[in-house]
Amino acid sequence: MKPELEQLVHRAQQLYEDLDLAAVRTWKQAAPGRKAIGYMPIYVPRELMHAAGILPVGILGGGDRLEIIRGDAYFQSYICHIPRSTVELALSGRLDVLDGMLFPSIGDVIRNLSGMWTMLFPGRYVRYVDVPQNFDPKVGGAYWRRELETLQGDLTRLAGRAIKDDDLRHSIAIYNQNRQAIRELYQARSWQPWVYPTSELYLFLRAGNVLPPEEHTELLRQYLKLAPLEEDRKEKDHSRVVLVGMFCEQPPLGLLLTLERAGCWIVDDDLLLGMRWLTGEVEVEGDPLANLVTAFLEQSTATASRYQPEGDRGRALVESVQHNVAEGVIFCAPSFCDPALLDQPMLIAALDRESIQHTQFKYSEDTGQFAVIREQAGTFSDSIRLWSEA
């Protein structure tokens, strides 16, 4: 690896491994009065925080790098892992740098965690972000506008400054650039997954959890520029697969590496989906709150936690397979993840109708043994290649 890219990857890796949120502390210390607010998966309107001068910080649990000492005492064995490591992060003081937490609507566990936060950390700002499941502008849109106005009022008080329309327009433009860079990266990986391996791309995506969007966009742009210069990144006889089910509790990095080593090029995924929730640009001109509402109603990605009035669950996955010329789908969901696991039979039915191959397994964010997964993914990849050649 050339030194410039090596440095860049090293930086992204450091940010990924930093459970103490040092980057956030540094950012806050750089100017007096700066605030940071954490948010859990999946979608929150980060533009509003940015417009208030607040740093939105993605909180995704502790992964496989955190020993759970107190967090387990708050959850039964049949609850997924991300809330226990998130509570552990907070109880160990690692999240003290945050001035508040947003809990988006993704499932009952994260929803209830919002109430737990209120009780565990009285006095801290906590808000449950209940996005509309009705997409009529006059109904769901009107409700979402009021919710955004309420959030805007809260952020104004927290930041100690009003959020002006021009501030919000500027933030929308900044996040449009960020989403555009991510889209370009995903497209580039889809074309040449050997140039942008997912185990690397993921680190750069994760960096967006703790960096200001302007800085994150620049990081992504540099990666897009430097990765193709690596001459030893050659195409291999791998299968092209789409990964599904990882939108909330994140897999350990080792799992992504394992899949690639097992012969799978990941050409699309739902990792860190909140950053890519809006599939297009948000209109910058005009009423910025109205533009955020419209974008949510019309450009939200298809995923388990969003109701689909049309009822064609699985269509977006089939389209992803087709668009990315994938040869199969790996359902890779966290254990006890209701949204992902309840969705799976519907997605499988859609794939079966199109004769698209698939396999499935579960993980936990602290999974440490990958031998079985490597074997299963390897066999799946082999079967695709053998089947394709037949």
Partner 1 sequence: MSEHSVEKEQSMLLQKQMIAGHYQALARAPEEGRKTVYTFVPGNLTELLRSFDLLPVLPEINALQSGMRKLSAGYIAEAEKYGHSEDVCTYVKCDIGMLKKGNISPTGTQLPNPDLLLLSYTGCFTFMKWFELLRQEYDCPVAMLHVPYQADGKIHPHHRDYVVEQLRSEVIPMLEKISGRRYDEDRLRASLALSVYAEDDLVWVLESAKNTPSPIDAYFGGVYYIGPIFSAFRGTPEGVEYYRTLRQEIEARLRDGLGPITPEGSMGRERYRLVVEGPPNWTSFREFWKMFYDEGAVVVASSYTKVGGLYDRGFRHDPDRPLESLAEYCMGCYTNLGLPSRVELLESYIREYHADGFMINSVKSCNSFSAGQLLMLRQLEERTGIPGGFIESDLVDPRYFSSANIKNRIESYLQMLEQKRGTKVGA
Q: What is the 3-state secondary structure (H, E, C) of the chain?
A: CCHHHHHHHHHHHHHHHCCCCHHHHHHHHCCCCCEEEEECCCCCCHHHHHHCCEEEEECCCCCCCCCCCCHHHHCCCCCCCHHHHHHHHHHCCCCCCCCEEEEECCCHHHHHHHHHHHHHCCCCEEEEECCCCCCCHHHHHHHHHHHHHHHHHHHHHHHCCCCCHHHHHHHHHHHHHHHHHHHHHHHHHHHCCCCCCHHHHHHHHHHHHCCCHHHHHHHHHHHHHHHHHCCCCCCCCCEEEEEECCCCCCCCHHHHHHHHHCCEEEEECCCCHHHHCECCCCCCCCCHHHHHHHHHHHHECCCCCCCCCCCCCCHHHHHHHHHCCCCEEEEEEECCCHHHHHHHHHHHHHHHHCCCEEEEEEECCCCCCCHHHHHHHHHHHHHHHHHHHC
| CB nearer to partner 1: pick between 6 and 149 | 149
Q: Which stretch binds partner 1 (CB under 8 A): 6-14, 105-113, 170-178, 247-255?
A: 105-113
> Applying CB under 8 A, what is the total number of residues that bind partner 1?
56
Minimum CB separation from partner 1 for residue 289, in Å? Answer: 14
CA pair distance 350, 311, nearest whole angstrom: 12
Mark residues 56-75: x for contact with partner 1 by CB under 8 A, - for none.
-----------------xxx
Q: Is 304 in the site for partner 1 (CB under 8 A)?
A: yes
Query: Is residue 344 a contact point for partner 1 (CB under 8 A)?
Result: yes
- Check residue 361 for interaction with partner 1 (CB under 8 A): no
The minimum distance between CB 14 and partner 1, in angstroms, equals 33
Please state, as a whole number, how many other Cβ atoms lie within 10 Å of the Cβ of residue 157: 11
* Beta strands across the sheet bearing 357-363: 264-268, 239-244, 328-334, 357-363
Q: Indicate which single residue of 256, 348, 373, 384 sits in contact with partner 1 (rule: CB under 8 A).
A: 348
Residue among 21 and 42 whose Cβ is closer to partner 1: 42
Q: In this complex, which beta carbon is closest to partner 1, that of residue 25 or of residue 313?
A: 313
Residue with Cβ nearer partner 1 (134 or 301):
134
Determine which residue in the list 116, 182, 207, 211 makes contact with partner 1, applying CB under 8 A.
116
The reply to whether 111 sits near partner 1 by the rule CB under 8 A is: yes
Of 86, 171, 178, 305, which one interacts with partner 1 (CB under 8 A)?
305
Among 22, 139, 162, 372, binds partner 1 (CB under 8 A): 139
Asked if 158 is part of the footprint of partner 1 (rule: CB under 8 A), the reply reads: no
- Considering only 123-131, 165-173, 189-197, 270-278, which stretch makes contact with partner 1 by CB under 8 A? 123-131
Say whether residue 143 binds partner 1 (CB under 8 A).
yes
Cβ of residue 46: shortest distance to partner 1, in angstroms? 20
Residue 76 binds partner 1 (CB under 8 A): yes
Contact (Cβ atoms closer than 8 angstroms) between residue 365 and residue 250: yes
Sole window of 16-24, 32-40, 133-141, 277-285 interacting with partner 1 (rule: CB under 8 A)? 133-141
| 142 touches partner 1 (CB under 8 A) | yes
Of the pair 221, 313, the CB lying nearest partner 1 is at: 313
In the complex, minimum distance from the CB of residue 252 to partner 1, in angstroms, rounded to a whole number: 19
Residue 152 carries which side chain, given as an amino acid letter? Q
Between 78 and 234, whose beta carbon lies closer to partner 1? Answer: 78
Quick check: 81 binds partner 1 (CB under 8 A)?
no
Q: What angle do CA 366, 236, 64 make, to 5 degrees?
A: 10
List of residues contacting partner 1 (CB under 8 A): 73-76, 78-79, 83, 105-109, 111-116, 118-120, 127-128, 130, 132-134, 136, 138-140, 142-143, 146-147, 304-305, 307-309, 311, 313, 335-339, 341-346, 348-349, 362
